[in-house]
């Protein structure tokens, strides 16, 4: 039987070997596991982190067929962004400290550690394969959107209005000292560069909406009254794994680098504005918001339809804000550019149709 010792932190996929993965398995409770070898392959196209699948070859014992390891990005600009925004620290602490108190479906954590000086980190997690990553560029169906909003409610509901959340010092948000000022600084630094870089891909309406939001950005960042909860901060299709096979977990939410103490409907508006084509969103959004409200009710949360609609409209800019800021602070790629444009354009349409600017007067 293997001894249950805490593995050391290994912050690079290239430094992982069979003995180390065996130690992780022992730590996770698979005490009789011993590996003969493994294969490693990259997963996805993360902007700030990198994910690696480890396919395990057992010499003895039993355990999962695969593990997924998450590491800091190899891209210097993206890695520095992850450090500056404390994305890596937040994700490790979310999995270790906060996730057990929530009901949202996430991968099981086998081992997580971070060096708070260097921000090297490792998360070894359950592999949800053959689940399919959501198609951020193509958008999703109303049925998949309903699954997403159910999970949003399972995230927000358990700690809705819980004052104890203020004790989690890694949770950011606009309510924290300097939170709004930091976001305003990022926007002011990024907006003109964003409009210049994507000038040939943005319509005149998109540019006008971006500039109009910029003129009201301080008002947008003013926290509204109301209960706070745990928010994801990047709740969109790229961070969702859909299980299509019989008996599979229908939806798993990943990428917990931006958790915050915030307003739950902001995650909802961000998802709807970035992940549905505008025509489908406009047709289905009232029904989808009812899905969210109904699951919240199971946690004893009372949120009226009018209150949800108002908060949803006010947060209709969330995807546009992310596109402007994030596109300028991570490494630039062709896929990333296309993704940010899809997010920005869909969200700009949403904000126009919902007359979001009227709420920032």
φ/ψ of residue 123, rounded to 5: -120, 120
| Total length of the chain | 361
Here the tokens at position 289 are: 């918001």
Q: Which helix (H) or strand (E) holds 57?
A: strand 49-60
With tokens 């006008």, the residue in question is 208
Residue 1: what pLDDT? 43
pTM, full prediction: 0.94
**Distance (Å, rounded) from C-alpha 179 to C-alpha 360?**
19
**198 and 341 in contact (C-beta within 8 Å)?**
yes
Handedness of CA 349, 350, 354, 355 (dihedral sign): negative
CA Rg, the chain, in Å?
21
3-state secondary structure of 79: helix
**144 and 40 in contact (C-beta within 8 Å)?**
no
Q: What is the pLDDT of residues 128-142, one digit of tens each?
A: 999 999 999 999 999
CA atoms within 13 A on the CB side of 273: 33
Q: What is the pLDDT of residues 70-79, one digit of tens each?
A: 999 988 888 9
Residue 180: what pLDDT? 84
Residue 47: what pLDDT? 67
**Distance (Å, rounded) from C-alpha 285 to C-alpha 37?**
49
3-state secondary structure of 231: strand
**Distance (Å, rounded) from C-alpha 142 to C-alpha 230?**
24
**Distance (Å, rounded) from C-alpha 75 to C-alpha 50?**
10
Residue 77: what pLDDT? 84
Q: Which helix (H) or strand (E) holds 307?
A: helix 305-314
**Distance (Å, rounded) from C-alpha 222 to C-alpha 241?**
33
Contacts 24+ apart (CB under 8 A), 8-13: 9/113, 9/114, 9/115, 9/120, 9/121, 9/122, 10/122, 11/71, 11/72, 11/115, 11/118, 11/120, 11/121, 11/122, 12/71, 12/120, 13/40, 13/50, 13/52, 13/69, 13/71
Q: Count of CB atoms within 10 A of residue 289's CB?
A: 20
For residue 13, the Cα-to-chain-centroid distance in whole angstroms is: 22
Cα 354 to Cα 134, 171, 176, 186, distances in angstroms: 25, 29, 28, 25
**Distance (Å, rounded) from C-alpha 156 to C-alpha 146?**
15
Helices (H), 142-277: 142-156, 179-197, 204-215, 217-221, 264-275
**120 and 11 in contact (C-beta within 8 Å)?**
yes
- The residue ranges of the chain whose pLDDT is under 50 are 1-3
Closest C-alpha among 300, 16, 287, 54 to residue 149: 287
Here the tokens at position 249 are: 């977990």
Ordered structural domains, the chain, with CATH: 13-126 (3.30.200.20), 132-360 (3.90.1200.10)
3-state secondary structure of 117: coil
């Amino acid at each position: 039987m293997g001894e249950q010792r805490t593995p050391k932190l290994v912050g690079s996929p290239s430094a992982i070997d069979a003995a180390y993965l065996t130690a992780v398995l022992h730590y996770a409770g698979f005490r009789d596991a011993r590996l003969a070898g493994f294969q490693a392959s990259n997963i996805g196209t993360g902007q700030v982190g990198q994910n690696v699948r480890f396919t395990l070859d057992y010499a003895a014992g039993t355990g999962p067929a695969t593990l997924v390891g998450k590491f800091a990005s190899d891209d210097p600009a993206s890695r520095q962004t992850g450090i500056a925004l404390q994305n890596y620290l937040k994700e490790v602490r979310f999995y270790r400290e906060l996730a057990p108190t929530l009901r949202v479906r996430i991968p099981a954590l086998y081992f997580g550690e971070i060096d708070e000086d260097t921000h090297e980190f490792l998360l070894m997690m359950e592999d949800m394969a053959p689940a399919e990553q959501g198609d951020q560029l193509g958008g999703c169906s109303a049925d998949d959107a309903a699954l997403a909003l159910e999970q949003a409610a399972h995230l927000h509901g358990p700690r809705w209005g819980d004052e104890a959340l203020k004790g989690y010092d890694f949770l950011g948000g606009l309510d924290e000292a300097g939170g709004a000022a930091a976001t305003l600084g990022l926007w002011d630094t990024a907006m003109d560069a964003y409009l210049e870089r994507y000038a040939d891909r943005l319509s005149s309406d998109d540019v006008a909406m971006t500039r109009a939001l910029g003129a009201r950005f301080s008002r947008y960042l003013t926290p509204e009254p109301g209960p706070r909860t745990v928010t994801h901060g990047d709740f969109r299709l790229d961070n969702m794994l859909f299980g299509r096979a019989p008996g599979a977990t229908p939806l798993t939410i990943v990428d917990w680098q931006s958790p915050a103490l915030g307003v739950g409907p902001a995650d909802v508006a961000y998802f709807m504005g970035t992940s549905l084509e505008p025509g489908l969103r406009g047709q289905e959004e009232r029904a989808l918001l009812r899905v969210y409200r109904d699951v919240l009710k199971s946690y004893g949360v009372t949120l009226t339809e009018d209150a949800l609609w108002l908060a949803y409209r006010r947060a209709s800019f969330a995807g546009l804000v992310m596109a402007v800021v994030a596109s300028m602070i991570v490494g630039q790629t062709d896929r990333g550019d296309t993704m940010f444009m899809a997010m920005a354009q869909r969200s700009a349409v949403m904000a126009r149709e919902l007359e979001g600017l009227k709420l920032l007067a």
